[in-house]
Amino acid sequence: MASETKGEKDSIFHRLYVGTGAFDIIGKRKRWYIFFTALVLVCIAAIGVRGFNFSIEFVGGTQIQVPGQGSHGVITPAQASQVFASASGTQPSSAQTVGVGDAATVQIRSQALDQATVTKVEQALFQQLQPLGANGQPSQQSISDSAVSASWGQEISQQALIALAVFLVLVTIFLAIYFERWMALAALISLAHDILVTAGVYALVGFQVSPATVIGLLTILGFSLYDTVVVFDKVKENSRGLLGLTRRTYAETANLALNQTLMRSINTSIIGLLPVIGLLVVGYFLLGAGTLQDLALVQLTGMLAGVLSSLFLATPLLVDFKMRDPKFRQQAERVRARRANLARKAAERDAAEEDFDPTDDDALESELRKEKAYAAAASAPARTPRAHQRRGTRPSGKRRR
Amino acid sequence: MASPAGRIRPGRYLGFFVLIVVVAYALVFFTGGGKPTPKLGIDLQGGTQVTLTARTPDGSAPSKDSLNQARQIIETRVNGFGVSGAQVVLDGNNIVITVPGPQGEEAKKLGQTAKLNFRKVLDSAAATAPPTPPAPNSAGATPAAIQQAMAVRQAPALVTGSGDSLAAASTAQQALTAFTCPSQDPLQGNDDPNLPLLACNQDGSQKYLLGPVFLPGTEIADAVASPPSQNQPGWTVNLTFKSAGSQTWADFTSKNIQQQAAFVLDTQVVSAPTIQSAIVGGNTQISGSFTQQQTTDLANILKYGSLPLSFTPSNAVTVSATLGLASLKAGLIAGAVGLALVFVYCLFYYRLLGVLTIVSLAFSGLIVYAVLVLLGRWIGFTLDLPGVAGFIIAIGITADSFVVFFERLKDEIREGGRTFRSAVPRGWARARRTILASDAVMFLASAVLYAIAVGDVQGFAFTLGLSTVLDLIVVFLVTHPLVAMASKSKALSNPKLTGLGGVQHVAAERRARKAAAAAVKEA
């Protein structure tokens, strides 16, 4: 490839930055398909074998949060769960300190308790541990509680799934109108991949699945699709009038579009991920497990899966779908025929030129000039290597005639 | 494009944007009391939020009318407490009660159906109290469990005739003996008034076989809590009936002297007095083992009427002011960290264009805040923790519009061999399409989520969608004009500053190559 000589000269980052990258992604798509198939299989297996770690919203339960500072000093989870057990008559299922510094709280979780018991527990916690409120005075108002019925998480998730279905239908319509059928299909398949992989990572790592996670998943779909839209937009632009020309095949056009949008995809992902990482870290240190962290974690996982699929799955799939259309196959055939023709001509010419007379100054000079032009053309980016070759060969053909 | 490349007037766009900002902030400061803070959700300022989910006996979706009616009744109940700033909204099949501040504990009891019915006691027996405290497992209240409980406890075969006498004594007695008081009643508030009922009293010490409802609670005109007196050792609720109810009550009491009538509240017998004499005049009393608070609550609830549906609390959260403040801080810090990271990256990667990104993001933040305050006033939009997360995640989306534009500029310079200045109008024309398409997808996702999902999600979806729209405004009115202005300034379009040197270099190489090829051609 023409650009490979250049690649040695410039670092990969420079190539990425200026967009002359020329990474052959479409050509190696079989490899990517194998990779994605394996990934999806692993994820399905993980979901099947390990299942999900559902949060309190799905199983139902009570959670009480006490400030980490009491007037007798730091409140430990052990103290809190002891008071909890004696006041409620049930053992809490977990007690832990979350957050740091002033924001630290002790979180006690248990099976669902009725309101009267919760009030009793809160009174006991207040009397025995004297948690400090915002104003530095012990107060019962500083204790937070939440009681969730087992069906709540299901209801939220059910609605989210309905939302997912509606979203998919609308987005298919949007994509089919804005782009075309095959693009919509390729985008949807990569969306399915994103959902599966994100769910698989959750099952595999054992991250907690809360309603916030389910919601977060939905917005990733938006994000992943958004990335795909940008790549496809470029594919569409590059392939305008493609069928009438024999310069490039659809696969090459798509690969070019991928390379042109590669840096944008990487930049978008980094810029999208930076705030999410901030959210995750800050959420974890200041609040412990909760909405912020759940949302951030699922976004992080999903964005990574999303950028991967929009670059390496959606576009290769699009190319394969397109190639089912005889028009595009014929065009690719024409491109091949033309190139073979050119290559043959070039070979003939080279053979003919083998016996040029080096004593003829004129002939020597023009040959040297030609060699120089070939060398320059050889460092051209992958995008138009044939074009340069053509420029190089056509004059010679004329000259011979 | 109507106005061809290079002839946009950046100043006009910027001026228009400044106008928008000025108007928005004028509205913020000079209307609606002028308090320039957005409305915060209870998870950020502390308070209580109770989500009540409607539960129908057969699991079918409750009608919109009955939900609305229930919402109104609950609202009057909330107002009866005298708490300020409380809000009752309908969210799908749920009613969400939000009470800011510390006095929200009582909101957790507001979801009581409070169906008071009057039934005749046909038989009764002592019962063993169920083990306490059992975990109230509301998953037990599935339609199947309700149907099953109904089949056993409301079997029509328990009574004969019009329902005021026992069926074959053995059948009824067997049923009464076999019946044990459930710790959590799946029927609660869902019993069929036309059928007999097996029920227990409040502490589960007595079980009753009751006839069909002869007088429904809707006939109650007023209810007042009344303190203990000489005749009444405990707190009682005094009821006044409407005229028809009063008549029914008088008829029943005169016919059933020395028999028991049961006051059944949400499928639980609260009191079963023995009728001493006919009661005419439309007044009666319910006496049970009540505390003062309970009688007041009961009177309050009865007065405002019973809910047309029965509800279970799906989610009851009390957030202390301390925790709310901590969450708010965490959200703000996370936002600041996220913005800072994006700033650093943009500066590093795009140099001058990065500065423009920062300026655009800052403007975006400015207008987001104003819109937030205004929406809080106009449509009661409250910013909660998921909403904050939505904004933070939207930083990436907003910044991405700039990335799309800048990468397009580089494309134009590289492929087209243009200068920075001439690349801007062409790059913009093409980037605009992509930005519109991708923002449309994102907006679609958040709009669907907002319309369909329930719970905290809506805040998240709302802020995400809002950011997407504001992003369009900022990128059209701020970023593009700024870049256009920078491209016209000699000093600012210096390749070293814009970081576009690399691309221009590539373009120059290509031109050189073309020239070389052309030279060959000429030869």
Let me know whether A208 and A273 are in one domain.
Answer: yes
Rounded Cα–Cα distance for residues A371 and B113 (Å): 92
Whether the CB of B90 is below 8 Å from some CB of chain A: the reply is no
Let me know whether A214 and A176 are in one domain.
Answer: yes
Kindly determine whether residue A159 and residue B92, on different chains, have CB atoms separated by under 8 Å. yes
The side-by-side arrangement of strands in the sheet containing B206-216 is: B197-200, B206-216, B116-126, B261-265, B268-271
Instruction: Kindly report the nearest CA distance between residue A126 and chain B, in angstroms.
Output: 13
CATH superfamily of B10-34+320-517: Multidrug efflux transporter AcrB transmembrane domain (1.20.1640.10)
Residue A185 lies inside a defined structural domain of this protein? yes
Let me know whether A87 and A164 are in one domain.
Answer: no
Kindly determine whether residue B520 and residue A392, on different chains, have CB atoms separated by under 8 Å. yes
What is the predicted pLDDT for the residue at A356? 53
* Secondary structure class of B401 (helix, strand, coil): helix
Encode chain A (401 residues) as per-residue pLDDT tens digits: 343 444 344 566 666 665 555 677 787 888 889 999 999 999 999 889 888 888 777 777 888 888 887 777 788 888 888 888 888 888 888 887 777 666 678 888 888 777 778 888 888 888 888 887 766 777 777 888 888 877 777 777 777 778 888 888 888 888 788 778 888 888 888 888 888 898 898 888 888 788 778 777 777 777 777 778 778 888 888 888 777 777 778 888 888 888 877 877 788 788 888 888 888 888 777 766 567 777 788 888 888 888 888 888 888 898 888 888 888 888 888 888 888 888 888 888 777 655 555 555 665 666 667 666 666 655 545 444 444 444 444 444 444 44
Which helix (H) or strand (E) is A106 found in, with range? Answer: strand A105-110
**Which residue spans of chain B are classified as CATH 3.30.70?**
42-109
Whether the CB of A342 is below 8 Å from some CB of chain B: the reply is no
Pick the last residue of a domain from A280, A309, A327.
A327
- Single-letter code of the amino acid located at B212: P
Q: Which residue on chain A is closest to B403 by alpha carbon?
A: A264
Is residue B470 a contact partner of residue B397, using CB atoms and an 8 Å limit? no
Which of B:426-465 have CB within 8 Å of A? 430, 433-434, 437-438, 440-442, 444-446, 448-449, 451-457, 460-461, 464
Kindly determine whether residue B457 and residue A156, on different chains, have CB atoms separated by under 8 Å. yes
Let me know whether A224 and A94 are in one domain.
Answer: no
Which helix (H) or strand (E) is B287 found in, with range? Answer: strand B283-287
Let me know whether A98 and A222 are in one domain.
Answer: no
- Single-letter code of the amino acid located at A88: S
DSSP string, B315-352: EEEEE-HHHHHHHHHHHHHHHHHHHHHHHHHHHHHHTH
Q: Which residue on chain B is closest to A392 by alpha carbon?
A: B517
Let me know whether A99 and A231 are in one domain.
Answer: no
**Which residue spans of chain B are classified as CATH 1.20.1640.10?**
10-34+320-517
Whether the CB of A370 is below 8 Å from some CB of chain B: the reply is yes
Which of B:110-129 have CB within 8 Å of A? none
What is the predicted pLDDT for the residue at A19? 56
Whether the CB of B393 is below 8 Å from some CB of chain A: the reply is yes
Q: Which residue has the tokens 């809160």?
A: A122
Those residues with Cβ within 8 angstroms of residue B117's Cβ, 6 or more apart along the chain or in another chain: B191, B193, B213, B215, B216, B217, B263, B264
* Nearest by Cα to A353 from A387, A313, A292, A397: A397
The region of weakest confidence among A274-278, B1-5, B59-63, B272-276 is B1-5
Whether the CB of A54 is below 8 Å from some CB of chain B: the reply is no
Let me know whether A203 and A320 are in one domain.
Answer: yes
* Nearest by Cα to B407 from A384, A24, A303, A17: A17
Residue A352 lies inside a defined structural domain of this protein? no
Q: Label residue B483 by pLDDT band (50, 70, 90).
A: confident
Residue A3 lies inside a defined structural domain of this protein? no
- Contacting residues of B for A147, CB less than 8 Å apart: 313, 315-317
* Nearest by Cα to A379 from A129, A20, A47: A20
Instruction: Kindly report the nearest CA distance between residue A385 and chain B, in angstroms.
Output: 12
- What residue numbers bound the domain in which A300 lies? 15-54+153-327
Let me know whether A40 and A113 are in one domain.
Answer: no
> How far out from the chain centre does Cα A58 lie?
27
* Strand positions, DSSP E, B128-277: 159-160, 165-166, 197-200, 206-216, 220-226, 236-241, 261-265, 268-271
Let me know whether A66 and A45 are in one domain.
Answer: no
What is the predicted pLDDT for the residue at B492? 67
* Secondary structure class of A298 (helix, strand, coil): helix
Let me know whether A259 and A320 are in one domain.
Answer: yes
Give the tens place of pLDDT for each residue, B186-242. 777 677 778 888 888 877 778 888 888 888 877 888 888 888 877 777 788 888 888
Whether this model's pTM surpasses 0.95:
no
Those residues with Cβ within 8 angstroms of residue A179's Cβ, 6 or more apart along the chain or in another chain: A232, A236
Residue A390 lies inside a defined structural domain of this protein? no
* Secondary structure class of B81 (helix, strand, coil): helix
CATH architecture of B116-309: 2-Layer Sandwich (3.30)
Structural domain count of chain A: 2
In three state form, how does the secondary structure of A329-396 look?
HHHHHHHHHHHHHHHHHHHHHHHHHCCCCCCCHHHHHHHHHHHHHHHHHHCCCCCCHHHHHHHHHHHH
Pick the last residue of a domain from A292, A327, A362.
A327
Rounded Cα–Cα distance for residues B300 and B76 (Å): 10
DSSP string, B237-255: EEEEE-HHHHHHHHHHHHH
Instruction: Kindly report the nearest CA distance between residue A370 and chain B, in angstroms.
Output: 6
Instruction: Kindly report the nearest CA distance between residue A35 and chain B, in angstroms.
Output: 27
Residue A206 lies inside a defined structural domain of this protein? yes
Residue A391 lies inside a defined structural domain of this protein? no
Distances (CA, A) of B336 to A275, A351, B340: 9, 68, 6
Q: Which residue on chain B is closest to A215 by alpha carbon?
A: B457
In three state form, how does the secondary structure of A24-58 look?
CCCCCHHHHHHHHHHHHHHHHHHHHHHCCEECHHH
Whether the CB of B327 is below 8 Å from some CB of chain A: the reply is yes
Is residue B477 a contact partner of residue B16, using CB atoms and an 8 Å limit? yes
Residue A157 lies inside a defined structural domain of this protein? yes
Identify the CATH assignment for B42-109 out of 3.30.70, 2.60.40, 3.40.220, 3.40.630. Answer: 3.30.70
Pick the last residue of a domain from A311, A327, A343.
A327
Rounded Cα–Cα distance for residues A286 and B331 (Å): 9
Q: Label residue B169 by pLDDT band (50, 70, 90).
A: low
* Secondary structure class of A132 (helix, strand, coil): strand
Let me know whether A94 and A208 are in one domain.
Answer: no
Residue A48 lies inside a defined structural domain of this protein? yes
In this structure, what CATH number is given to the domain that contains residue A322?
1.20.1640.10
Rounded Cα–Cα distance for residues B145 and B426 (Å): 67
Kindly determine whether residue A18 and residue B393, on different chains, have CB atoms separated by under 8 Å. no
Rounded Cα–Cα distance for residues B82 and B279 (Å): 35
What residue spans of A53-114 are helical by DSSP H? 56-59, 77-88
Q: Label residue B132 by pLDDT band (50, 70, 90).
A: very low
Kindly determine whether residue B448 and residue A271, on different chains, have CB atoms separated by under 8 Å. no
Residue B128 has pLDDT above 70, yes or no: no
Is the bond into A385 cis (omega within 30 degrees of 0)?
Answer: no
What is the predicted pLDDT for the residue at A37? 92
Strand A53-54 relative to strand A208-209: parallel, antiparallel, unpaired?
parallel
In this structure, what CATH number is given to the domain that contains residue A73?
3.30.70.3220
Rounded Cα–Cα distance for residues B111 and B99 (Å): 14
The side-by-side arrangement of strands in the sheet containing A61-67 is: A94-98, A105-110, A61-67, A144-148, B310-319, B47-55, B94-100, B87-91
Let me know whether A195 and A70 are in one domain.
Answer: no
Q: What six digits make up the tokens of A187?
A: 């985008």
Is residue A273 a contact partner of residue B313, using CB atoms and an 8 Å limit? no
